[in-house]
Chains A and B, each alone.
Chain A
Amino acid sequence: MATGFEEGSAWREQLSALVDGELHDASSLCAAWREDSQVRATWHAYHLIGDVLRSDDLAGSPARDALLLARVRERLAREPVVLAPAGRLETDAARDRRPMWRAAGAVAAGFVAVAGVYTLMRPAADAPSLSASLPDVPVVARADSFPPAGASQVAPFLVTSEPSLRLVRDARLDAYLAAHKQFAGSSAIGLPVYARPTVDSSPSDGR
């Protein structure tokens, strides 16, 4: 019986383990999903097999499956943000995450517009007040590029599916928001973070 372990097929066995939730680090396969249509086709085939084993009427048609994915993918690209956990936090908020996400959602709602690049504020002018000096920045970030949260601050951040934009904190915005104390009394929101696109010469790590 052929084992099928030809050169370079180790990823297939890993993908099979991921199908069953028995592969704990999915990062390289998720990265491969983006780049490699064979990975996508194999993932689809493995799941189709499972579905059909359970029920013939889930056989569906590949064309239909591909069409739905294309439509969802297109809509995902237009989705503004997905707020993600900011990692391990030392604050009160860490013990009760739910209000943090709602509050952070309010922050995000105030800052975002649709379609890829999010204008934070009006373009900077040479004005003395902080509010006028805020730069026109896109509010996007990579989940893995956030600064570590300090003991007294929570840093929720905004994430999109666009991996090439990196997170950069701007002290002027931090100062502006702290000064306005919009979120005073809430331990959940210290300072929101945002980013501007940088010319990123380092390769995307696939996350």
Chain B
Amino acid sequence: MSGNDADAPLVERVKRGDAKAFEMLVVKYQRRIERLIGRMVRDVDLVPDIAQETFIRAYRALPQFRGDSAFYTWLYRIAVNTAKKALMELKRDPIVAETARAARDDDEETSRVENELTDGETPDAVLASKQIAAAVNFAIEGLSEELRQAITLREIEGLSYEEIAEMMNCPIGTVRSRIFRAREAIAQRLRPLLENRSGERW
């Protein structure tokens, strides 16, 4: 497995039979995969189905994944192929395509509004997303310089702990601690937005 792939520890566990480790990878990549599929497929209602199919296909194919590429690169390709396959099946089945088209035509007004919602969700869900984005951005502005730099170098620049330690001129343990504290500080702001009324969601 490529030594630089941050997913290596989890992928190795999946290959040894730990399906829960695969769930962890799902939670990690679901948003990116859904966004990718949403760009390929006009009908946003199809996105969750195609995303689900993508992850199952990846799970089945994982024994053949040998780490020649990064895990996410491999997963990305599976998502693209799965979306293409879904689009072709839609084209081939005239009844499905026609029903979808008829529903759209009957509902021009609503569908115009829905097209504005990038993920086809309700206004409430869109608001929730906006609140989350705002909370994260606000929280990061409130971090100390060290914490903000550490998490930025990690999440945006994609540097390893070792590289960050070099750039920030501190031990790797300090990098790890700073990134953790940055995440926790941001997560504190997010938690009220993430918990649902009935308690645990996961």
Contacts and interface: CB of A to CB of B under 8 A. Distances in A.
B21 A30 contact: yes
A126 to B, nearest CB: 35
B20 A161 contact: yes
Contacts of B55: 72
Interface stretch (A58-66, A127-135, A183-191): A58-66
Interface residues of A, number: 71
B100 interface: no
B59 A45 contact: no
Contacts of B18: 30, 143, 161, 207
B7 A21 contact: yes
A64 B6 contact: no
Most A C-beta atoms less than 10 A away, residue of B63, B187, B200:
B63
B119 A60 contact: yes
Contacts of A48: 31, 132, 136, 190, 194
B194 A45 contact: yes
Interface string B48-90: 1001100110011011101000000000000000000000000
Interface stretch (B91-99, B101-109, B154-162): B154-162
Given A62-B196, A72-B52, A22 B160 contact: yes
Interface residues of B, number: 77
A69 B26 contact: yes
Contact of B63 (A21, A65, A83): A83
Contacts, number: 224
Interface in B142-201: 144, 151-152, 154-156, 160-161, 176-177, 179-181, 183-187, 190-191, 193-196, 200-201
B16 A52 contact: no
Contact of B194 (A27, A44, A53, A144): A44
Contact of B34 (A3, A66, A68, A105): A68
A24 B1 CA distance: 13
B41 interface: no
Contacts of A159: 16-17
Contacts of A33: 20-21, 23-24
Contacts of B10: 18, 26, 30
Contacts of A97: 66
A54 B35 CA distance: 13
Interface string B9-39: 1100111111111111011101110110000
B114 to A, nearest CB: 15
A81 to B, nearest CB: 9
B46 interface: no
Interface stretch (A35-43, A110-118, A147-155, A171-179): A35-43
B202 A41 contact: yes
A20 B182 CA distance: 14
Contacts of A75: 52, 56
Contact of B202 (A64, A69, A71): A69
A157 B177 CA distance: 40
A79 B201 contact: no
B83 to A, nearest CB: 15
B125 interface: yes
B52 A85 contact: no
Nearest to B128: A61
B190 A49 contact: yes
The 6 closest A-B pairs by CB, nearest first: A21-B6, A161-B19, A159-B17, A143-B17, A40-B202, A16-B180
